[in-house]
A and B are shown apart, each in its own frame.
Chain A
Amino acid sequence: MTKVLLEVDSLTVRLGHADSAATLVEELSFSVAAGEILCIVGESGCGKTVTARSVIGLNRNEPGFHTSGKIMFDGRNLLTLDEPSMRRIRGARMSMIFQDPMSSLNPLHRIGTQIEESLAIHGDLGRRERRERTVELLSQVGIPDARARIDDYPHQFSGGMRQRAMIALALAGNPDLLIADEPTTALDVTTQKQILTLLERLRNDYGMAVIFITHDLGVVAEIADRVMVMYAGKCVESGTVREVFHAPQHPYTAGLLASIPALNRPKLPRLQSIRGAPPVLSEGRPEGCAFQPRCAHAFDACSTEPPMTSTGELDHLDRCWLLPAQKRHLANAMEVNA
């Protein structure tokens, strides 16, 4: 995990016009190494999906979206790339899967036809080879008896199988980077486990990097190498999955971890919760640290925005004014509960 595949530098995404524009993502910087699984975690409206869509350029032509900063992929800045070149990257070098497989699959076309179409666009295989490759892709993602199912329509597949078909479609171009936006949120736990295992296997077999977006910290612990926690359009903490889960430095991360009724913790009479609700960014973000209104540790300094600082551990960064000793206490408080 040495080669950096994607480097995002001060990405800012604004929606709307002039004065009324809302800043959905602000000065966000992160990188993904080849073959690495980065989880972006946060609650609804924190900007995780907007970030992902900006990386793959899905909102670049949407009116009202203003994107600035740099997204370096393979030495090229994707934000300044023209649409035809972007199209050659999208689907071939980088592809995306979604929560709802029917947003990627056309209900009127056979599953096989859709995958073959993608192969035709991004490769130079002949008709027969494309069909063979499609069967191969479908069996790779675990569709039983792929040869018999290749001519099925999406409605003939179950939810988990559609998710697999969508992954097969995303893999058709043999991408270096897969962006997965809540791919298991609509699935049952047993199916979710199957899909997570599949993604991990694909990463191991092909060295494919994955940006995995989710709100479920259990899923993060299961699959991530590194984690980026987002709140109100900014990264508030990032680090390796072990660092972030065992020694959370930001009160928001610690609060999130403590608020899940996890099966591996003793049952408490009450769950720890974070007071209030996440800010709605179109109504403006809170002054200073955006988490301050909900934070149990807020003090004077929090009225100015804290920078990302290192804890000294690997590349574990966080955006909080608390002193290192106080942050350690956050992690300890978690342990007491655990």
Chain B
Amino acid sequence: MTHAPLVTVSDLRKSFAIRAGLMRRVRDELRAVDGVSFDIGQGETLGLVGESGCGKSTLARCVARLAEPTSGSVRFAGDEIAHLTSRRLRPLRRSIQLIFQDPMASLNPRKRIGTTLRDALRFQGIAGTRARETSRIGALLEQVGLAPSYADRMPRELSGGQRQRVVIARALAVEPRFIVADEPVSALDVSVQAQILNLLKDLKDTLGLTMLFISHDLGVVRHVSDRIGVMYLGKLVELAPADALYETPLHPYSRALLAAVPLPDPDARGHHGNVIEGDIPTPLNPPRGCRFHTRCPLAQEICVKTEPVLTAHAKGHFAACHFASAEHGVQATSKAVN
């Protein structure tokens, strides 16, 4: 799936001003996303993982242009969109759609499902006659596995999984090319989560959608993604094809994340190599050099002084670590798998 990239992000940065005091003067700057570059091929799903506060949601909002990046470039289908005005963005909204974690917060509780979907069609000027609208709405609902009769229901009458299906249907209503999904299954029960993941995968295959999929759950990301990026404190520390990341993770942070995931097998207890200590440092004042050095088991002097850059270690497999070597990776995973 390495066609020409649909989305190209280069050196993207987003900072938020911290204001304090009587005059609300800018006292500090929080660099939520600090120089991230990647691209997403046509029809590809790129997964982003990382812990809370690593900047993955901010990154998604910048790529979907819900937020304006502080600097850097976002190219969508060849056009630079990083700094477009909201009016110029309007036609683009049809091509880029978002799905969020909490479907109840994305749906208007006072509108019937049919009305919500009809609005989506109308706002983008692709509605037709009433009858055509209704048949289109029915088709959309069927596409996400709901009966067309759901158009007459209110959001509160639906379960969490059904609501998320409606949110997906609304995103599909405008026939987007690119979907940004920010933790789309995190609020759902396990048995329902599997249904929605299958649905997203089917839609991607049948409609050829390109997706940026964000989750904190490494199992979920592995299931849907072709390639995966791992973020830590606003930086991409590893970017690799999905299988390669799980088989030979190169960055010590990726390995620590993988090791911390509890496996549903009581005999796999203690599969963890080293559990990393401590918490993520504050992004207000990230560590110098490599940002992970304060928690890294491999940290040396060089890590404190020099910030490692994202470099290729195998085909399509990038890591930002002075000590990223396949050997370390192999050791770590053989532990994880057994």
Contact = CB atoms under 8 A, between A and B. Distances in A.
A265 B304 CA distance: 37
B72 to A, nearest CB: 26
Given A218-B262, A271-B197, A259 B219 contact: no
Contact of A267 (B222, B256, B275): B222
A222 to B, nearest CB: 4
A314 interface: no
Nearest to A278: B189
Interface of B: 51-52, 159-162, 189-195, 197-198, 201, 216-220, 222-223, 242-243, 246, 256-269, 271-272, 275-277, 279-280, 336-337
Given A215-B190, A259-B193, A270-B198, A264 B268 contact: yes
B260 A259 contact: no
A202 interface: no
Contacts of A257: 264
A241 interface: yes
16 contacts: A44-B189, A158-B279, A160-B279, A189-B218, A192-B262, A197-B275, A221-B269, A242-B267, A255-B191, A259-B193, A261-B197, A261-B222, A263-B219, A263-B263, A267-B243, A277-B189
A16 B192 CA distance: 28
A256 B264 CA distance: 10
B256 to A, nearest CB: 6
A260 B275 CA distance: 23
A144 B223 CA distance: 37
B247 to A, nearest CB: 11
Given A189-B218, A273-B198, A262 B192 contact: no
A257 B189 CA distance: 13
Nearest to B54: A188
A233 B325 CA distance: 51
Nearest to B191: A274
B181 to A, nearest CB: 15
A61 interface: no
Contacts of B191: 43, 255-256, 259, 273-274, 277-278, 294
B217 to A, nearest CB: 8
A259 B111 CA distance: 32
B212 to A, nearest CB: 18
Nearest to A241: B266
A308 B162 CA distance: 32
Interface in A191-248: 191-194, 196-197, 215-222, 224, 241-242, 245-246
B263 A264 contact: yes
Nearest to B253: A190
Contacts of B336: 263-264
B263 A190 contact: no
Given A264-B337, A271-B198, A221 B263 contact: yes
B117 to A, nearest CB: 21
A161 interface: yes
Contact of B201 (A159, A161, A270): A270
A303 interface: no
A277 B220 contact: no
A311 interface: no
Contacts of A80: none
B222 A263 contact: yes
Contact of B262 (A191, A196, A241, A261): A196
A43 B189 contact: yes
Contacts of B219: 260-263
Contact of A217 (B190, B277, B280): B190
A270 B263 CA distance: 19
Interface string A265-306: 001011111110110100000000000001000000000000
